[in-house]
């Protein structure tokens, strides 16, 4: 039995191969090792009712996660998974690897993440190449849910939102400066907290002020991330994440202005990633 996980900072999607029935799919909180430790990862998994009956039967576990960018972070996640899946071969990779397999397959292309955070890398058909991006919600994450959430909160607290939007925002979120500071500076997952305000954008996307915020975020993302690749027009650029998915019309418009070749836009890569992994493992058994 094979288990595939695509983990972001806000949410993790799981898909488990079952012998005689369709795959089992479920979701949990995000398990980014920069924001949760190994004990918290273990605790979250232990509380997944769907996985408990199958834990000892799983033979392969492929975990693709945000924050799994260095050996020590990947080891932290692997150490948290090992006691729970004692009979499984466990592989932990960065989420960009999973997104590349889900969108590019074995072809070359760019993988752009626009979810809670943002990132971009080039996939050469075999490996995701190192990049200077993906620096987190404090130093980067241009055009991400956290970036947009921070923008909205700042405008609201400074009294710079138009009156109709300010009243709508206050009614929907009922926040104060004290609440924001506590969640951003004192609690876990501050980036996910900031990103939780991003749905306000899609709910008010026809408002000219919101339209301008979205465009400015995508412009900053494209100029900071995509245009740094000299040959960005030579390959398709695939987008993964809820921000790209729900705000795709404006994203496409901004990208068209730079002649960016848009490929797939996926809310989550889990289904395509699962299919790729299952097919790859079946092929390896045949060729063995």
Range of the domain at 107: 103-266
CB atoms within 10 A of CB 202: 14
Q: Of 228, 142, 192, 188, which is closest to residue 41 (Cα–Cα)?
A: 188
The crossing angle, in degrees rounded to 10, of helices 145-157 and 177-185 is 150
Residue 287: pLDDT band (50, 70, 90) is low
Look up the pTM and report it: 0.86
Distance of CA 259 to the CA centre of its chain: 25
Regarding whether 154 and 40 lie in a shared domain, the answer is no
Question: Same domain, yes or no, for 121 and 222?
Answer: yes
Q: What is the mean pLDDT of the chain?
A: 90
Provide the number of structural domains found in the chain: 2
Place of tokens 């889900």: 102
State yes or no: pLDDT of 114 exceeds 60.
Answer: yes
* From 73-87, 135-149, 176-190, 208-222, the region with the lowest mean pLDDT: 135-149
Coil, helix or strand at residue 188: coil
List the CATH number of the domain containing 83: 3.30.420.40
Same-domain status, 128 and 243: yes
């Amino acid at each position: 039995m094979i288990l595939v996980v695509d983990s972001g900072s806000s949410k993790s999607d799981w898909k488990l191969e079952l012998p005689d029935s369709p795959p089992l799919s479920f979701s949990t909180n995000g398990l980014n090792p920069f924001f949760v430790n190994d004990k918290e990862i273990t605790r979250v998994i232990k509380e997944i009712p769907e996985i408990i009956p199958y834990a000892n039967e799983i033979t392969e576990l492929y975990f693709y996660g945000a924050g799994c960018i260095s050996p020590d972070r990947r080891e932290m996640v692997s150490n948290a998974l090992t006691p729970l899946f004692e009979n499984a071969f466990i592989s932990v990779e960065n989420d960009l690897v999973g997104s590349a397999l889900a969108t590019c397959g074995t072809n070359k292309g760019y993988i752009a993440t626009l979810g809670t955070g943002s990132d971009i890398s080039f996939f050469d058909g075999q490996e995701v190449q190192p990049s200077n991006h993906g620096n987190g919600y404090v130093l980067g994450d241009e055009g991400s849910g956290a970036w947009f959430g921070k923008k909205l909160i700042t405008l609201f607290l400074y009294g710079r939102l138009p009156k109709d939007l300010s009243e709508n925002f206050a009614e929907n979120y009922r926040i104060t400066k004290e609440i924001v500071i506590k969640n951003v500076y004192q609690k876990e997952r501050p980036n996910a907290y900031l990103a939780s305000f991003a749905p306000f954008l899609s709910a008010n996307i026809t408002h000219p002020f919101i339209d301008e915020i979205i465009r400015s975020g995508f412009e900053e993302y494209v100029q900071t991330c995509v245009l740094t690749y000299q040959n960005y027009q030579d390959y398709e650029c695939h987008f993964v994440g809820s921000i790209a998915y729900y705000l795709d019309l404006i994203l496409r418009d901004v990208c068209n202005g730079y002649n960016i070749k848009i490929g797939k836009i996926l809310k989550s890569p889990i289904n395509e990633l699962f299919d790729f992994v299952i097919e790859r493992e079946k092929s390896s058994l045949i060729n063995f």
